[in-house]
């Protein structure tokens, strides 16, 4: 029987890859709290649909490139592909820093997205950790999304006031360069990998019915996230909370949600019961979105609902990639996680686009209502899933 404690090698792998992922996500999230407010200063930035495209543009290019990046990492190794993706992301950040019109901002965001390393990071984490501890490691990586978001909400308004939107994009590029150093200096070396499946065979395995359920789930989760934050910052300003004070709401809400997410993650991991945790989190997400569509827009009401949203979001960000890594064959893991991250980033793109379009024509309540219906569809899809059995695989990272 395996120990419930993670080995030092697994802890190092999880912490370092989480930091790489977090630096990149921090760069992506830095613009969310301020971009919609700044956008009218761009030429053409008064068009909410274009603002939504700019917010979600990196999702479209990531969607195109996640599978090629994942398959390339199966064949060429994880670290070389990470270096290339992070360098491309930095280049896109510096292009966006020079933007004076909304189209250049969209181009920069699109180039940022072309550094499609999410699938590589998750596959690398799966390579370096045993199945018994994989949900914990995926929770570490998933938590970096929420933590990066919280830090961006605190730091971005202050940085924006100090250095402007161009300076903010320069900081984002510098964070990506820091992540390259972290990969080289701290992330463990890759273990010997299984022989990769031939391209089409590996890709076919990545579209199995159970993986498609998970892919629909991550698509939905990120449509909801991006669509919400097309409208949430302006709703809070309208409720009387200045942009510079938004961190006072977001930071405690996100940090408290981390504490609440721990028990369900441990339950799913130690009892090998991911399905009930997944179903319960999706149901909570749907309920929160329905309440946002129906409720008033007071600051305290929004704070309570955002707290519940981030509990569901953080749990789902941990459970979903862990399930993908367990269901996918080892020789097609990069390809399968590439498909998964393609679905994720398509969600980011269509969430930004759809959120901007719906908000401009029907208002914020309709954005939340649409997202609630999408979450209910996910609940129906997830209810039919078959949870994977634990294989008892040894820790590939060693002890």
| Phi and psi angles of residue 134, each rounded to the nearest 5 degrees, phi first | -70, -35
Residue-wise burial string across 135-172, b where 16 or more C-beta atoms lie within 10 A, e elsewhere: bbbbbbbbbbbbbbbbbbbbbbbebbeeeebeebbbbb
Residue 195 has pLDDT above 60, yes or no: no
The 10s digit of each residue's pLDDT in 236-283 is: 888 888 877 877 888 888 888 888 988 888 787 777 788 899 999 999
Share of the chain above pLDDT 70, in %: 89
- pLDDT of 397 reads 46
pLDDT at 297: 67
> Looking at the domain assignment, is residue 2 inside a domain?
no
pLDDT of 346 above 50? yes
Q: Confidence class of residue 393 from pLDDT cuts 50, 70 and 90? A: very low
Strand partners, 52: none
The answer to whether position 389 is within a domain reads: no
Q: pLDDT tens, 96-127? A: 999 989 999 999 999 988 887 887 888 888 78
**Which residue carries 């979105």 as its tokens?**
289
Non-local (6+) Cβ contacts of 199 within 8 A are 71
Among 135-144, 288-297, 358-367, 376-385, the least confident range: 135-144
Mean pLDDT value of segment 309-324: 86
CA 3 to chain centroid, in Å, comes to 30
Number of domains within the chain: 1
* Residue 396 included in any domain: no
Across the range 333-350, mean pLDDT stands at 79
For the cut 50, the answer to whether the pLDDT of residue 396 exceeds it is no
In a domain, 323, yes or no: yes
- Mean pLDDT over residues 34-51, rounded? 82
Nearest Cα to 59, choosing from 226, 230, 231, 309? Answer: 226
Question: Is 395 contained in some domain?
Answer: no
Q: How confident is the model at residue 22 (pLDDT cuts 50, 70, 90)?
A: confident
In which band, very low, low, confident or very high, does the pLDDT at 1 lie, cut at 50, 70 and 90? very low
CB 217 within 8 A of CB 381: yes
Q: Which domain holds residue 340?
A: 9-383
Region 186-205 average pLDDT: 65
Q: Report pTM.
A: 0.73
Residue 239 domain flag: yes
What integer is the mean pLDDT of 215-225?
93
Q: Report the CATH number at residue 143.
A: 1.20.1250.20
Helix runs in the chain, H state only: 8-29, 32-38, 48-76, 78-97, 102-114, 118-128, 134-185, 199-205, 209-238, 247-270, 274-294, 299-327, 333-362, 364-383
Residue 69 lies in a domain: yes
Higher pLDDT, 168 or 134: 168
Over its C-alpha atoms, the chain yields an Rg (Å, rounded) of 20
Confidence at residue 4, expressed as pLDDT on a 0 to 100 scale: 63
* Cβ 231 vs Cβ 364: under 8 Å: yes
Residue 146 — pLDDT band, cuts 50, 70, 90? low
Asked, for residue 391, whether it belongs to a domain, the answer is: no
Residue in 280, 305, 338, 307 with CA at minimum distance from that of residue 124: 338
Instruction: Indicate whether 198 pLDDT > 80.
Output: no
pLDDT digits (tens, 9 = 90+) for 76-99: 888 999 999 999 999 999 999 999
CA distances from 364 to 9, 234, 238, 295 (A): 46, 10, 12, 11
Please give the pLDDT value at position 376.
96
How far apart are the C-alpha atoms of 240 and 147, rounded to whole Å? 25
Residue 316 near residue 278 (C-beta atoms within 8 A): yes
The pLDDT of 229-236, averaged and rounded, is 83
């Amino acid at each position: 029987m395996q120990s419930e404690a993670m080995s030092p090698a697994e802890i190092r792998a999880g912490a370092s890859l989480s930091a790489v992922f977090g630096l990149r996500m921090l760069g992506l999230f830095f613009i969310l709290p301020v971009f919609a407010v700044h956008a009218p200063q761009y030429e053409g930035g008064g068009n909410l649909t274009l603002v939504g495209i700019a917010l979600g543009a990196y999702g479209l290019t990531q969607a195109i490139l996640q599978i090629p990046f994942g398959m390339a990492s199966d064949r060429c190794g994880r670290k070389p592909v990470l270096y290339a993706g992070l360098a491309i992301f930095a280049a896109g950040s510096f292009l966006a820093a020079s933007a004076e019109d909304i189209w250049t901002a969209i181009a920069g965001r699109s180039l940022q997205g072309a550094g499609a390393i999410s699938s590589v990071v998750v596959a690398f984490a799966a390579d370096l950790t045993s199945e018994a501890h994989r949900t914990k490691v995926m929770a570490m990586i998933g938590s970096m999304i929420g933590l990066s978001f919280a830090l961006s909400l605190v730091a971005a308004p202050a940085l924006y006031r100090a250095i402007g939107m161009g300076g903010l994009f320069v900081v984002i590029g510098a964070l990506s360069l820091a992540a390259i150093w972290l990969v080289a200096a701290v992330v463990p070396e890759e273990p010997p990998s299984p022989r990769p499946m031939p391209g089409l065979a590996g890709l076919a395995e990545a579209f199995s019915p159970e993986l498609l359920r998970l892919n629909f789930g991550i698509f939905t989760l990120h449509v909801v996230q991006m669509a919400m934050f097309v409208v949430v910052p302006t709703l809070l300003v309208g409720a009387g909370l200045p942009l510079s004070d938004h961190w006072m709401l977001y930071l405690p809400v996100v940090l408290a949600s981390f504490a609440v997410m721990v028990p369900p993650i441990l339950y799913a991991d130690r009892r090998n019961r991911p399905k009930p945790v997944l179903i319960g989190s999706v149901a909570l997400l749907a309920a929160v979105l329905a309440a946002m569509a129906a409720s008033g827009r007071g600051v305290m009401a929004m704070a309570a609902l955002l707290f519940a949203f981030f509990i569901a979001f953080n749990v789902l960000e941990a459970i979903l990639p862990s399930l993908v890594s367990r269901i996918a064959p080892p020789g097609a893991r990069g390809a399968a996680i590439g498909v998964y991250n393609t679905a994720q980033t398509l969600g980011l793109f269509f969430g930004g686009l759809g959120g901007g379009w719906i908000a401009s024509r029907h208002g914020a309540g309709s954005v939340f209502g649409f997202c609630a219906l999408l979450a209910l569809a996910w609940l129906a899809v997830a209810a039919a899933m078959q949870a994977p059995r634990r294989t008892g695989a040894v820790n590939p990272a060693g002890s």
